[in-house]
């Protein structure tokens, strides 16, 4: 705990954002126990009600509780965002490491491909990919993964190239 304090000393924004993100993931995990009503149960007698003691955020046009729907929706949204982040990170780290380590024409080809993807706005590229593959949640997820990995690849490639030129790597090569 003391090490965490020293690591984040003077970085209040990082601490606050980490606490908020942890709270969101906790809410996502315990949504079935927090939700006061079934999020998909239709109750036309209570449609379009305002906030009350029974329905804290009111109801929608089918009488479903907005708070319950919000809690369950957070599970899906944060789950897919985590999936996109982790898969993009994995792809980017592998491609960036290969490009930085091998170098030469492999590095040039991979980085020119990354620059080609980065030349277009992300939303336009995602919409184009979804237009090619057709509508659907999986197509959107794949399109977002295909667009986001380039940033991690470039960052990882630059780290590998800078590490490759350090003196301790040269000493290790010389010593065998």
Assigned domain for 120 exists: yes
> For 48-57, 140-149, 166-175, which range has the lowest pLDDT when averaged over its residues?
166-175
Task: Tell whether the model's pLDDT for residue 2 goes beyond 90.
Answer: no
Predicted structure pTM score: 0.78
Specify the pLDDT at position 35.
86
Residue 143 within a domain: yes
- pLDDT tens-digit map of 71-93: 888 888 888 999 999 999 999 99
* Domain span including residue 60: 35-175
Q: Is residue 131 part of a domain?
A: yes
CA distance 133 to 140: 9
Q: How many domains does the chain have?
A: 1
Q: Is residue 18 part of a domain?
A: no
Residue 161 CB burial class (10 angstroms; 0-12, 13-18, ≥19):
middle
Res. 1 pLDDT band, cuts 50 70 90: low
Helix (H/G/I), strand (E/B), else coil: 166: coil
- 10 assigned to some structural domain: no
**Per-residue model confidence as pLDDT tens digits over 15-37:** 888 899 899 889 888 888 988 88
């Amino acid at each position: 705990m003391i090490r965490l304090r020293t690591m984040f000393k003077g970085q209040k924004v990082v601490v606050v954002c980490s606490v908020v993100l942890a709270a969101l993931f906790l809410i996502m995990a315990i949504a079935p126990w927090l939700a006061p009503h079934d999020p998909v149960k239709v109750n036309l007698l209570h449609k379009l009600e305002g906030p009350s003691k029974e329905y804290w955020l009111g109801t929608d046009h089918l009488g479903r509780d907005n708070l319950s729907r919000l809690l369950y929706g957070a599970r899906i949204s944060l789950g897919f965002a985590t999936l996109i982040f982790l898969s993009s990170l994995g792809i980017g780290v592998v491609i960036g490491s290969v490009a930085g380590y091998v170098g030469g024409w492999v590095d040039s080809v991979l980085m020119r491909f990354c620059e080609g993807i980065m030349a277009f706005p992300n939303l336009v590229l995602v919409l184009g990919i979804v237009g090619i593959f057709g509508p659907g949640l999986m197509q959107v997820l794949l399109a977002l993964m295909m667009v986001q990995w380039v940033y991690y690849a470039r960052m990882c490639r630059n780290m590998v190239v800078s590490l490759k030129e350090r003196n301790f790597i040269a000493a290790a090569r010389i010593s065998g």
